[in-house]
Amino acid sequence: MTRAEVEGLLRGLAPQVLGLVARRYGNFDLAEDATQEALAAAAVQWPRDGLPDNPKGWLITVASRRLTDLLRSEHARRRREGTVAEWAPTWCSMPEADETRPGGTDDTLVLLFLCSHPSLSPASQVALTLRAVGGLSAAEIARGLLSSQETVTRRVTRAKQSIRESGIPFALPASDELADRLGAVLKVLYLIFNEGYASTAGTALLRADLADEAIRLTRALHAALPDDAEVAGLLALMLLVHARHRARTAPDGSLVPMAQQDRSLWDRPVIEEGVALVTAALSHGPTGSYQLQAAIAALHDEAESADATDWPQIAALYGVLLRLADNPVVALNHAVAVSMVAGPRAGLELLRRLGPDPRLTADRRFHAVRGHLLEQAGDPAGALEAYRAAALAATNLQHQRYLNRQVARLEGRSAS
């Protein structure tokens, strides 16, 4: 097995192992350290010695041994050793034999709820889960949350400290607590998917492993909560957006805007599944933001061409979304939809009102949309300035290349 294949396998197994070890021993901080050491050992040994018969069981065994060593160290003995024996029997619902055998329970979904710890703020819940389950770096989390890397690092560090000091078991929530933690879980899955579908950094536009993992986890959540309309809405949204991913990039990996995509490459069976999910969810109510976003995605996917898109309906749905929550990205998308209905100047007026929002002005999407609308409104000089700002703000290589092409095109036009 190649090193790249091992790394891919480890990425999928890491949150499963961490979730199980944290649930078994009730100490997230040490469980994360032990899991990381097990992953590091596997990254060295597996390419050299071959894959073990049960990779997940191997990692669990190594991580558990390492955690036991940590708990029994001189530094931790007086504080922890007396409670080690109580943790596993009290908080572990599965026998050890089931945890390490091939085909055993996947604890990644459990970890999602574990990270939604009642001692944490919602922002810290999201940051910690993105780190532990999504495997995202602090920089990736910051861009996904429209925050700073320093803020995210502090949140993750404080989250671990709060869990350690709270005295509340780091375990599966009781059934009456699940609903309170579901909102954070859904937001995390949404952000993981977004990072996979439109990577904020690096050389590739897509990170299919993250998008696929978010969909897999959301399917598991939907199977566990089949009557929750927002869970169904989020799954529908992911499917409807991901169905277009083969058309989003050219053979060289460059970005292809939706209006220029070859729609024959869109995955029609996946679109049909997503449409069926959101249709059923909307009929059960109450209508939430993920259902509305899925309905918008369905309108895009069902249009035979870009010109056939039902922009008035999309603009109306974004208006409803804005009434549900103050989300700057939704406001930006609303401005785009309005421009498609009422013209670029109407969209630019909405952008003008958003201009002072620091959550958007540092984001390439705001400047890219403004550049497009200024060009449509007959202001190439203003469009050029906006595209330059967007290119400078972009942190993904493919976004940078696309925006720089727009800059070069407008510069060439002004020179001729």
CATH of the domain at 363: 1.25.40
Q: Are 334 and 315 in contact (CB under 8 A)?
A: yes
Residue type, 267: D
pLDDT at residue 315, rounded to an integer: 98
pLDDT at residue 103, rounded to an integer: 43
Calpha distance 270→253 (Å, rounded): 23
Q: What is the pLDDT along the chain (416 residues), one digit of tens a residue?
A: 788 888 888 888 888 899 888 878 877 788 888 998 999 999 999 999 999 999 999 999 999 999 988 887 745 455 544 544 343 333 333 334 345 444 444 577 778 888 887 778 888 888 888 888 877 778 888 877 777 899 999 999 988 888 778 777 666 677 777 777 898 899 989 988 998 898 888 888 998 878 998 998 899 899 989 999 999 999 999 999 999 999 999 999 999 999 999 999 999 999 999 999 999 999 987 899 999 999 999 999 999 999 999 999 999 999 999 999 888 999 999 999 999 999 999 999 999 999 888 888 889 999 999 999 999 999 999 999 999 999 999 999 999 999 999 999 999 987 76
Task: Please choose, from the candidates 179, 197, 79, 72, the residue with its C-alpha nearest in 3D space to the C-alpha of residue 134.
Answer: 197
In a domain, 308, yes or no: no
pTM: 0.82
Q: Are 397 and 202 in contact (CB under 8 A)?
A: yes
The residue from 60, 88, 106 where one domain ends is 106
Q: Are 156 and 138 in contact (CB under 8 A)?
A: yes
- Domain tally, the chain: 2
The residue from 61, 79, 106 where one domain ends is 106
Which domain range does residue 79 map to? 1-106
Q: Are 192 and 210 in contact (CB under 8 A)?
A: yes
| Phi then psi dihedrals of residue 220, to 5 deg | -65, -40
pLDDT at residue 401, rounded to an integer: 96
Whole-angstrom distance between the N-terminal and C-terminal Cα of the chain? 55
Residue 298, by phi and psi: left (phi above 0), alpha (psi -120 to 50) or beta?
A: alpha
In a domain, 317, yes or no: no
Calpha distance 300→237 (Å, rounded): 12
Task: Please choose, from the candidates 362, 232, 240, the residue with its C-alpha nearest in 3D space to the C-alpha of residue 287.
Answer: 232
Q: Are 26 and 91 in contact (CB under 8 A)?
A: yes
Q: Are 133 and 112 in contact (CB under 8 A)?
A: yes
pLDDT at residue 202, rounded to an integer: 81
- Angle, CA of 138, 114 and 86, to the nearest 5°: 125
Q: Is 260 exposed, middle or buried (0-12, 13-18, 19+ CB in 10 A)?
A: exposed
- Angle, CA of 251, 235 and 207, to the nearest 5°: 30
In a domain, 4, yes or no: yes
The residue from 57, 86, 106 where one domain ends is 106
